[in-house]
Chains A and B, each alone.
Chain A
């Protein structure tokens, strides 16, 4: 069974640009969540999607958005990039239900210059 797949793995953007990251969950997993990992802030929850609906959102500005498609694939978008957005963005998927474990992708490294 294929794991969580994230693309692109590495990218460099200029301040002010926007970026879209993609995540394909494990087959059968309908919940997809996104996390930002930085040395200073650690792992922070961005948002979670289930059945194309955002179920939960972390404390990030509106520049961070996401969506989920009918096949459970998800994208996240960051507009008007700032230097502080440089981070590893991790996508995780899980089955729906109480107590389910989330499984992570390898992440997308974003560098904003």
Chain B
């Protein structure tokens, strides 16, 4: 089974600074998708960004970008110009090309310090 590992249970960042959250995964597949979801205190899971494994270019969504290293099976999330509203639990997720089952990491709790 695929596994997703987030080795940082907690992270903190000063407002307006940049923070990087780490994620590694294990798979024997060559075609798959990777995601970062954000879960604020309301517990609503919100999609932050997604990356297709066949694309070499790293995905970017406004202040959020990823560093996708396919050979290393690494998928980190960079948040630039951190805002108080970014405080949440962040989950890295893996999805195979077929089927619709997502595998989630254990999450990283991000605190933004004013």
Contact = CB atoms under 8 A, between A and B. Distances in A.
Interface of A: 31, 33, 35, 42-43, 45, 48, 50, 55-56, 58, 88, 90, 92, 94, 98-107
Nearest to A43: B104
Most buried by A among B45, B50, B91, B104: B45
B100 interface: yes
- Tell me the interface secondary structure of chain A in the complex: strand
Contacts of B106: 42
A88 B39 CA distance: 12
B56 interface: no
B64 interface: no
B104 to A, nearest CB: 4
A104 B44 contact: yes
A97 B102 CA distance: 14
Contact of A88 (B43, B97, B104): B43
A101 B101 CA distance: 11
B11 interface: no
